[in-house]
Structure 1
């Protein structure tokens, strides 16, 4: 693993700054997260292997999500991961995918007494998420009138635990992980399903994008992606909310 924020250059010869791919990401386990000064995760590991395969120099930096995705929108050689590929983002970026496929559960704090079976019922509650996350867009599109925005997922979770919000959408994988750690969460219903990807600037070079996609395809075809998922205990419940009520 590499130290957070350092240059991960894999080319033998010096290259111009314009040829360096700059990746940004956020703290969003199990896809990307900090362990001390390192970044790890199922998305992060795939990016490392892809870039090692194509021998292109790059950097990876972890930062708040709003800034991470804004850089990919505005800077030609920037890409952001692990990014949900939703219709509202489709034309804003060029895509390398799939890094993963996932679902979001709408969850409440266990013992809150809140029971909602669908989006219509959930609209009656205060729902929290992180600012500029794709779940904010989903909530807005579904007409949620009371959306509480925080800078990151951890702060939103703290608000749920302290009953400052009633509900929050959370990835299935992270939900299972938090339950195993003893967090008092209760899934209510499947809020969304989406493909996770690497989103690159709309002007990102097509030839380089194709090489990155080819490297990811190789990871999928030779079973490496599945092995990475296993490493990070990525698994899926059989909704029915099997994971919600073990």
Structure 2
């Protein structure tokens, strides 16, 4: 399973593509799997995250590996770096000097995304105090129109979405870094360790062979 999270995973002209999609397809090929790009499903994040928690033989990507999630899943990666930040409209002149400052503002996130979890853990916000949506574009439009003051999300992905949707990235700015880490393939917690090792070796081999770098350059 995957979601609309460009440039890592997204659908364009009816074809699934992106850094993590291409890497998954290459790993499947290396492992001699009968599964292909056509077996990957693009789903809303909250739905796929719930499935990964509850259903065996599932894998979700790209997913940020955080301390809160560490023991919930098994991990293969890293795929790429991640940087979750708080975005604001540049003309709002928002400045956060302490965690308490965020409580002055209306803050948005995607349901069950790392941004929401970080807001709860770092700032002590209740879920009811966060404006939750099912997609980054919905939250971004809320930010643009002033329905929210801050949006917690991955910095690279948001810049990509702004460009694709005709929004000017210069109208927005990062005002607080929530976390820096890496994206991974997240497997259901009961996945056999041998399979995890096989996937990890396949990904490591792609890096050693230079194919990983070729995939990255496709989306720069």
TM-score scaled by structure 1? 0.79
Q: Which one has the bigger helix percentage? A: 2
How far apart are the structure 2 equivalents of 1:118 and 1:34?
A: 39
Listed as ranges, the gaps of 5+ residues in structure 2 are none
The higher-RCO structure (CA 8 Å, 6+ apart) is 2
Unaligned runs of 5+ residues in structure 1 are 1-23, 234-246
Output the TM-score relative to the length of structure 2.
Answer: 0.88
Deviates further, 152-161 or 204-213 = 204-213
Matched with 1:231 is 218
Shift of residue 73, structure 1, vs aligned partner: 1.6
CA root-mean-square deviation: 1.7
Contact preservation (8 Å) 1:119, 1:191 = no
> Deviation digits for residues 151-199 of structure 1, max 9, x if unmatched?
1111111110111100012322124435655242112132211221011
Supply the distance in 2 between the matched residues of 1:178 and 1:98 (Cα, whole angstroms): 22
1:27·1:33 contact (CA, 8 Å) conserved in 2? Answer: yes
Equivalence for 1:158: 141
SS at match of 1:144: coil
Shift of 1:105: 2.4
**Distance in 2 (alpha carbons) for counterparts of 1:164 and 1:72:** 31
Larger mean Cα displacement after TM superposition, 215-224 or 59-68: 215-224
Does structure 1 residue 172 correspond to structure 2 residue 155?
Answer: yes
2-side partners of 1:222 and 1:117: how far apart?
Answer: 45
Q: 1:74 aligns with which of 20, 42, 54?
A: 54
Q: How many residues matched?
A: 210
Structure 1 residues 221 and 154, CA gap change in structure 2 (3 angstroms) = same
